[in-house]
Structure 1
Amino acid sequence: MAHAELHHDRPPSISVTRRQSILFVTSEIADYVKAGGLGEVSAALPRALRHHYDVRILIPGYRQVLSQIGSVEEIARLPASFGIPACGLGRGMTKDGLTVYVLLCPELYERDGSPYVDPFGVDWSDNDIRFARLGLAAADIACGNGDPLWRADLLHLNDWPSGLGAAYLAWRGEHIPTILTIHNLAYQGIFERDRLSSLGIPDAAFHINGVEFYGKLSFLKAGIFYASHITTVSSTYAQEITRPEFGCGLDGLLRTRARQGRLDGIINGIDPSWDPAKDPYLVSRFSAENFRGKRANANNVRRSFGLDLSNGPLFAVVSRLVHQKGVDLAISAAETIVSQGGQIAVIGQGEPRFEAELHALAQRHPGSVGVKIGYDEGDARRMYAGSDFLLMPSRFEPCGLSQMYAQRFGSLPIAHKTGGLADTIEDGVNGFLFGAPCVHRFTDAIRRGLETFRSRQRLSAMRRAAMNRPHGWDRSASKYRQVYERACQTAAYV
């Protein structure tokens, strides 16, 4: 009887399923430091996934991170290994509550410059050690040797700086699932063979089926070879990188991963701050239902860039000024734009030769071409908001964010049909695409844009289509969840 009463008084059992723990490993995050699109994705994707997973971020403790993150508690010491120094593992939090693990190693990370280069634009000579430290820390945390109260069920690695994370797990015989996202295959983290021992890479791994890449070692190849699953940032780019012309020497391995069902393309989204109805940087806000405010932003851009006030079309270039981005094509096409009454505003920095050529272009066409070397967030947002067209003749573009920013702000992108540009622009509907990356094809697309500008009804229809295109992270995050699930299921049977 007593036993029955005890059973009756016991609270009903409730099955609680623990949310999976995801460690998102990145070399940059827009909250604190960014050099490109990876920083934007690292800020947005974990936030889009946080409702479904216990997702946390791991990043090196650069000076920019430590100065902005606020309180950081050191929760562990990660030991030295081979030539990789010991470091502290700090735990902090973003303003909206995302947990961020920070590698505390002043000798590696607390420097002026960007995450990858010194103030003069030269790669740090110890980048192999700096980012091997990141990959090794990711593996340690996944194995339960970091935060004593948390361990990762899955590592989400990003680009070459974290690529060794998957390899270190494999060399330990651990079967923790790993996802590697390739944001740009052209950056591979290539180092000399004599660095193997310093990085703790087994001699047997220096092989075509391992980290070896044309006699050197590649962090990115290590990630591709050892990761459970590979993603890249658009479906078209996922196909392109399996071909020699886009594969950067890794197309054979990537074709193998595609045949195995271990390569997916998932287009990036953009964060909700890109809303012309709410953006605090704009001088006049607007929407797809009423975009009259574009004119005030256009006039602001014209004044800021030294352009004449005009009723003609305004073209924007917001880009790194490098060969990949087709800056030379934009310079060559400028004569066509100016001769048709158009104006061009350019913001960005990059190769000195392109910076010089753009300054010379502006001097040849005062009042019609304006150039600012550098980057300013407010200027960029007002350029998207005020321009009629965005020039984006990239020779290759894994995903691209600028075309989506432009579309959201009612500026029609004119872009090469490649990578994420092909996946996000519908030709003649919400932008213009051209085939081969040459001046002739590019100027043909520009002329189609100019014809559209002269038809206010058609221009308005295309602007609305561009602004109403889905731009958020929901669909992309759902696809990442499917990849996570497949990777975890596969690891369970290894």
Structure 2
Amino acid sequence: MRDASRRKASLGARVPPSRWATSAPAGSRGRRILFVTSEIADYVKIGGLGDVSAALPRALRKQHHVRVLIPGYRELLVSLGNVPVVGRLDGLSSLPACNLGRIETRDGLTLYVLLCPELYDREGSPYVDVNGADWADNDIRFARLGLAAADIACGLGDPTWAPDLIHLNDWPSGLAPAYLAWRGRPTPSIMTIHNLAYQGVFGRDRLGALGIPDAAFQMHGVEFCGDLSFLKAGIFYASHVTTVSSTYAEEITTPEFGCGLDGLLRTRAREGRLTGILNGIDESWDPRTDPHLASPFDANDWKGKSVNAEEVRNAFGLAVSRGPLFAVVSRLVHQKGLDLTIQATQTIVRQGGQIVVTGRGEGRLEAELQNLAARYPGQVGVKIGFDEGIARRMFAGSDFLLMPSRFEPCGLSQMYAQRFGSLPVAHRTGGLADTIEDGITGFLFKDLSLAGFLNAVYRSIDAFGSRRQLKAMRRSAMARSFEWQQSASDYAAVYDCVVRSVGVR
């Protein structure tokens, strides 16, 4: 399996289902939606997809009948306990037959669980083993997920329910619309790209094992640079493609950000079949009520923010300081521009600033960050790994969040930071450009270079020196609304358009 086909780092924690308030869909007027995902934050989360998969279906339930399909990983089954079986799904080529389970969360969200122990009941993450290596059979594991989505769309597995539309997410579910197309079934489908860099690329020799017709291995099909791409299949065969911010939807139609798929994506854009819809964040991101914080606070009382800053400094072994506190809460991967942060550290420290970092990712970056902490004891603190409580206190206690990402399809950290009065210092790209108001709720830079980044850092330090400006920007940032309901309404509009255009049901 190629490196681009997996999510390389773990950054997340389980989120209680009760976090999102849901309500019953509006009678029989709502459409039946099958939301297909490889992770959901309630039980198993690797990145932002897990958060989206937990929050968006719940927000959509106010308008539609939504059910979620997810593989039956060991971690999920331990949390759920016994999952009643509602049907049996046949195999295809090397894809094994399996059972389909159905269960409801405490707040009433229906989950379909793909019960296939030989594929999913393992130690490790959804994508890699305990040593961090891709599962050797990832093509089989996620082709089985795509086939199950197609089966359910055809009325198989659960005889009591079939969707009007299937909503697919990233490469692990990318073959679902392809299997439907090869069966001649017209069920509408939405393919959401959360990160185009991860494409699920496998060798041509896997076509037979996955039940893919030889005729589909072409430019107008699943072929990508001589290999098979799950994500390209999803983009090509889906009725409509969405991605997670308006700016990223434009960026991926260019060679710079298109990862080799820009031509196909430009075609979808010209056809009116590519839409950018910004992700949201859930209502728990409220500094007045968050139980993880050392002290609550709001935009009119900053004492609690100071208490959280002190807590963070203690936790990371930093010296007492009156200077600005910069935070990094991120997957530690090249995409996130950690090399620029490392290069900027000397300047930040010399200006009286301190930096705290948490996350997990590429071993080289983890080692470089730990070396940085050793080089600047008391001024730089690094914790490899992720703890939600620590991360939330970092957002609450920091003055600024560093996000010099090379690209950022949506990004959630900059939204969390603003809600907690931490001003992002970020590259003007993707969702960062769509969610940060330069000079009002944060600091953006266009030139992706150390000089460009440092220019934004200097601007943030200048703002810190002006208590009036800092307070005004914090209040503006904390007033920003990133509610999921707006995203859900935008998706509902796309659903309606796609179902009408396909002309079924």
* Structure 1: distance between partners of 2:375 and 2:413: 27
User: Aligned to 2:67, what secondary structure does the other structure show?
Assistant: strand
1:166 aligns to 2:167 (yes or no): no
Q: How far apart, CA to CA, are the structure 1 residues paired with 2:334 and 2:30?
A: 44
**Deviation readout 1:247-287 (Å, 9 max, x if unpaired):** 00000000000000000000100011111111110010111
CA shift digits 1:334-378 (9 cap, x unpaired): 111100111000001111111111111111111000000111111
Residue 121 (str. 1) matches residue 132 (str. 2): yes
Matches within 5 A, 1:97-116: 97-116=108-127
* Alignment-derived partner of residue 157 in structure 2: 146
User: Secondary structure in 1 aligned to 2:102?
Assistant: strand
Q: Aligned to 1:457, what secondary structure does the other structure show?
A: helix
How far apart, CA to CA, are the structure 1 residues paired with 2:53 and 2:299? 28
Q: Distance in 2 between matches of 1:437 and 1:168?
A: 41
Identity %: 69
Change (3 A) 1:477 1:117: same
Structure 1 counterpart of 2:368, from 334, 350, 357: 357
The residue number in structure 2 matching 1:447 is 458
Give the deviation of 1:493 after TM superposition.
6.9
Following the alignment from structure 2 to structure 1, what is the Cα–Cα distance between the partners of residues 203 and 396?
A: 46
TM-score (norm: length of structure 2): 0.94
Contact 2:328 2:402 in 1 (8 A): yes
TM-score (norm 1): 0.96
Matches within 5 A, 1:366-377: 366-377=377-388
Q: CA deviation at 1:309?
A: 1.4
Residue 156 of structure 1 aligns to a residue in which SS? strand
Equivalent residues of 1:70, 1:92 under 8 A apart: no
Aligned equivalents of 1:19 and 1:266: distance in 2? 20
Identify which of 388, 411, 427 aligns with 1:416: 427
Q: Please give the residue correspondences for 1:290-301 in structure 2 after superposition, counting only pairs within 5 Å.
A: 290-301=301-312
Question: In the aligned structure 2, how far is the partner of 1:493 from the partner of 1:379?
Answer: 49
Cα deviation 1:44-102 (Å, max 9, x = unaligned): 10011001111000000001110112341011111111110011100112121100000
Q: How far, CA to CA, are the matches of 1:291 and 1:47 in structure 2? A: 33
Question: Equivalent residue for 1:189?
Answer: 200
Counterpart of 2:208 in 1: which secondary structure?
helix
Task: Note if 1:427 corresponds to 2:435.
Answer: no
Match of 1:478 in 2: 489
Assess if the C-alpha contact under 8 Å between 2:186 and 2:504 holds in 1: no
Q: Say which is worse superposed, 394-403 or 90-99, in terms of deviation.
A: 90-99
What is the alpha-carbon root mean square deviation over aligned residues?
1.0
Amino acid across the alignment from 1:98? L
1:30 is matched with 41
* Cα distance in structure 2, aligned partners of 1:28 and 1:55: 16
Q: Give the aligned partner of residue 205 of structure 1.
A: 216
Query: Does the CA-based 8 Å contact 1:69-1:93 persist in structure 2?
Result: no
Contact 2:245 2:409 in 1 (8 A): yes
Structure 1 gaps of 5+ residues are: 1-15
Contact 2:194 2:243 in 1 (8 A): yes
Deviations 1:358-415 (A, max 9, x none): 1111111110000001111110000000000000000000000000000010000000
Q: Is 2:187–2:504's contact at 8 Å kept on the other side of the alignment?
A: no
Equivalent residue of 1:55, what SS?
strand
Q: In structure 2, do the counterparts of structure 1 residues 493 and 77 end up closer, same or farther at CA, with 3 Å as the change threshold?
A: closer
How far apart are the structure 2 equivalents of 1:379 and 1:281? 8
Q: 2:30 aligns with which of 7, 14, 19?
A: 19
Larger radius of gyration: 1
Q: What does residue 326 of structure 2 align with? A: 315
Matched to 1:29, the amino acid is I
1:1-20 Cα shifts (integer Å, max 9, x gaps): xxxxxxxxxxxxxxx74421
Structure 2 unmatched ranges of 5 or more: 1-26
CA distance in 2, matches of 1:208, 1:149: 38
Aligned counterparts of 2:302 and 2:234: Cα–Cα separation in 1: 45
Q: Provide Cα deviations, 1:146-166, integer angstroms capped at 9, x if missing partner.
A: 211111110000000001011
1:258 aligns with 2:264: no
Report the CA distance between 1:290 and its aligned residue.
2.2
State whether residues 222 and 233 of structure 2, in contact with CA within 8 Å, keep that contact through their aligned partners in structure 1. Answer: yes
